[in-house]
Structure 1
Amino acid sequence: MMNMQGFADQIAIGAVTTLQTAAASLVLGIGLGLCGAAAKRASSRATRSVAGAYTTIVRGVPELLIILILYFAGTAALSALFGRYLEVDAFAAGVFALTIVFGAYATEVFRAAIQAVPAGQIEAARALGLSRISIWRLVILPQMWRYALPGLGNLWLTLLKDTALISVVGLDDLMRKASVAAGVTHDPLTFYSAAALVYLLFTSISLVALAALERRSYRGIRTA
């Protein structure tokens, strides 16, 4: 196998891009998931139906297809709007697509976590005269995170790996950098193995961090 000399810096740049894409999608996806969970618990039937259709469609379509559809749809929309061919930025398209996917799965995680909050505590908060916003901020959200963390952790690990799919629309992430290096050197084993090790490093660090977060979320709570 050839050595990594001359390409190690490119692999590192791709790894940073992968982390940036995943982190941005995580933050936006959590916000979308919270909105989706709230919509599924809304009193309006129409709102619940829209939220249900969103999660059903996104979870039923492969992530790669969603990325391609959003990328080409965005390019077509921009081109039609400005009257000339304009291509969607690969990073923006990737983050948007992964946010949509992560948000759909996070919606179900948050919905289940909210349902796990004891109903008696919510009723007690209402009896005390707290507003709906105050109930969410003081009662539901602090406890919901504890129940949601394991599921969100699994989604984060999946999200890290799904960033590799965005290389198909030209994002210079870890996977694309490894693919280019493999093509130039005709040594795919070295560079794809290097990419695999970097992904494994990311997920290993994430597992340690998630375990620490879960322990912290249970501080002061007696568990069986």
Structure 2
Amino acid sequence: MLQDFFHTLGESLSLKGYGSILLDGTWMTVKLSICSLLLSVLLGLLGASAKLSSSKFLNFPATVYTTLIRGIPDLVLMLLIFYSLQTWLADLTDYMEWDYIQIDPFSAGIVTLGFIYGAYFTETFRGAILAVPRGQMEAATAYGLSRAQRFRFVLFPQMMRFALPGVGNNWMVLIKSTALVSIIGLSDVVRAAQDAGKSSYRLFFFLLVAAAIYLLFTTLSNIVLSALERRFATGVREAVR
């Protein structure tokens, strides 16, 4: 009886020979999450700057962008963006008489997730920028710093202190949302778990493995985010005391 138990446990830990598939899916999820985060942060900074701009040509499109994206479910947006991009590209190739171009699922996943969460980062950064005392920027201007120098040395470090809680929350949601890319054909960890589970008739077990992998990601992310919060809060607690 005990021997059968350890035999079953050993088979479970070896993942029935599907470990390499899950590892590839995990690596795909990591790459997709990081690339999507970088695009989201870039769009968030641009969107926040546009929403805080006094120009209606910048403010209005940014407002429409954040309103639409935050009001539509991520799954619907992913399907709309992916298939609309593919349709527009097919129409363009037909019009230009080019060979048909198939959108790479990985690139489509990055663009889709980055575009969606760029709206959330826009509001996060906008609120953080508004939280920075205006006198800080006025003092930097008085010292003769350029706009780029004011952003790099004055605005960004203080903005990040206010933005990090929201950035961390957006990052956690983005990681979990990478599971949606399996519907557009990308072999992420969820797709790998589904394939392994269906092939081995142990779907529940492999989905638990996928859940554990996501839990590991979020736990490590919490550690990194806590370190970043301490880094950007340097000097603040001492000043408060």
Q: Same fold (TM over 0.5)?
A: yes
The alignment partner of 2:66 has SS state of: helix
Distance 2:17 2:146 in 1: 60
Q: How does 1:1-224 map to 2 (within 5 A)?
A: 3=12, 4-83=15-94, 85-222=100-237, 223=240
Task: Return the offset for 1:201.
Answer: 0.5
Give, as a single letter, the amino acid of the residue that structure 1 aligns with 2:213.
V
Deviations 1:51-97 (A, max 9, x none): 00000000001111111111111211222222365431111111101
* Aligned partners of 2:125 and 2:163 also within 8 Å: yes
Q: Tell me, what secondary structure is at the counterpart of 1:87?
A: coil
Name which of structure 1's ranges 56-65 and 132-141 shifts more when overlaid on structure 2: 132-141
Paired residues in the alignment total 224
Identity %: 43
Contact 2:22 2:189 in 1 (8 A): yes
Distance 1:53 1:69 in 2: 17
Q: Structure 2: how far apart are the matches of 1:136 and 1:29?
A: 19
Counterpart-to-counterpart distance in 1, 2:100 and 2:57: 37
Does the 8 Å CA contact 1:182/1:188 hold for their aligned counterparts? yes
Instruction: Assess if the C-alpha contact under 8 Å between 2:157 and 2:232 holds in 1.
Output: no
Q: What is the letter of the counterpart of residue 183 of structure 2? A: V
Deviation at 1:180, TM superposition (A): 0.9
Task: Tell me, in whole angstroms, the C-alpha distance in 2 between the residues paired with 1:48 and 1:78.
Answer: 29
The answer to whether the 8 Å contact 1:67/1:93 transfers is no
Structure 1 length normalisation: TM-score?
0.95
CA drift of 1:135 comes to: 2.2
- What one-letter code is carried by the residue in structure 2 that aligns with 1:31? L
Unmatched segments (≥5 aa) in structure 1: none
Alignment-mate amino acid for residue 70 of structure 1: I
The 8 Å contact of residues 55 and 104 in structure 1, kept in 2 or not, is answered as yes
DSSP-derived class of the 2:17 partner: coil
> Helix, strand or coil for the counterpart of 1:98?
helix
Structure 2, unaligned stretches of length 5 or more?
A: 1-7
Name the aligned partner's letter for residue 54 of structure 2: S
Greater CA drift, 126-135 or 137-146: 126-135
Comparing 8-17 with 117-126, greater Cα deviation is found at 117-126
- Aligned CA RMSD, in angstroms, stands at 1.6
